[in-house]
Amino acid sequence: MTRPEIEVRGLHKSFGDNEVLRGIDLEIGQGEVVCVIGPSGSGKSTLLRCVNLLEEPTEGQVFVGGTEVTDPDVDIDAVRRRIGMVFQQFNLFPHLDVTGNLTLPQRRVLGRDRATAARIAAENLARVGLAEKADAYPASLSGGQQQRVAIARALAMGPEVMLFDEPTSALDPELVGDVLAVMRRLAREGMTMMVVTHEMTFAREVADRVVFMDGGVVVEDGSPERVIGDPQHERTRHFLSRLLDPAMAEVEEETSDQAGKDEP
């Protein structure tokens, strides 16, 4: 592995009495694409949000580009400038056109002048295939287009790392492909990416590694061929069987329910 771009050591996170992360150790090398999969409530999104300190860990350390994010004295704003984050929801400003959505963060956070910000906005809109939408407003765009604008907005900040939290989960199925195509392109360009996703085809084709989480711990970590194609743990096999064949999951549930009813 190349030098770690993201390093997580002994990470714990609790919300009151609920311990969501139970000691996570993880490294992501420069230029690696790591997909994090697992059932709802397994801690995937919480882990992602701890990487850029949107959630403050209860215990443990997080390093990004060699800088300890969890150091109380760290300049977290400076660290976050190196991290792009794309959420499930697009979080675009409805009163600004697409160019305004891309230029405002550059000018406010990075201090770029209007002309420079506009040039960089145009370059990144072209990267995501939306150069012709520069003057459009979010309400006139499809969900997939809005998510690609959100990706372009993150890229315009010049990040070294991109974090994606279920970037296609809020999209209609026919719109997912365009967003995943942009992410594939970023992977080919060598962007370090940590992706929480249920898109197994994307994970198989694009990820260098797949991490399966359940119950707040890493259960398996390896190549897509091993983790998805030949999982070693029963928890992983059960999750993938239900995800890849939902009809069978429904049959299992109905069978289990009926068995419960037949019990004396």
Express each pLDDT in 51-60 by its tens digit: 999 999 999 9
Position 259 confidence tier, pLDDT thresholds 50, 70, 90: very low
Give the Cα separation of 146 and 137 in Å (integer): 10
Q: Above 90 in pLDDT, residue 232?
A: yes
Distance CA(44)–CA(218), nearest Å, equals 10
Give the model's confidence band at 187: pLDDT under 50 very low, under 70 low, under 90 confident, else very high. Answer: very high
Q: Which of 23-37, 79-93, 95-109 shows the lowest per-residue confidence on average (mean pLDDT)?
A: 79-93
pTM of the model: 0.90
- The total of other beta-carbon atoms located within 10 Å of residue 101's CB is 24
pLDDT per position as a tens digit, 122-152: 999 999 999 999 999 999 999 999 999 999 9
Residue 75, pLDDT > 90, answer: yes
Which residue ranges form the domains of the chain, and what is each CATH number? 1-75+181-246 (3.40.50.300), 83-159 (no CATH)
With tokens 């990416």, the residue in question is 193
**In residues, how long is the chain?**
264
Instruction: Answer yes or no: are the C-beta atoms of 111 and 188 closer than 8 Å.
Output: no
CA contacts within 13 A on the Cβ side of 135: 1
Res 250: pLDDT: 53
Average pLDDT score, the chain: 91
Q: Two tokens at 76?
A: 């977290």
Distance (Å, whole) CA 206 – CA 215: 26
Catalogue the E-assigned strands of the chain: 4-15, 18-29, 33-37, 59-64, 67-68, 83-86, 161-165, 192-196, 209-214, 217-222
Average pLDDT, integer, range 104-123? 96
Q: What's the pLDDT score for residue 55?
A: 95
- With pLDDT > 90 as the criterion, what percentage of the chain qualifies? 84
Q: What percent of the chain has pLDDT over 70?
A: 92
CA distance 261 to 137: 54
Q: Which of 1-10, 72-81, 242-251 has the highest mean pLDDT?
A: 72-81
pLDDT of residue 244: 75
Whether residue 119 is predicted with pLDDT greater than 70 in this model: the reply is yes
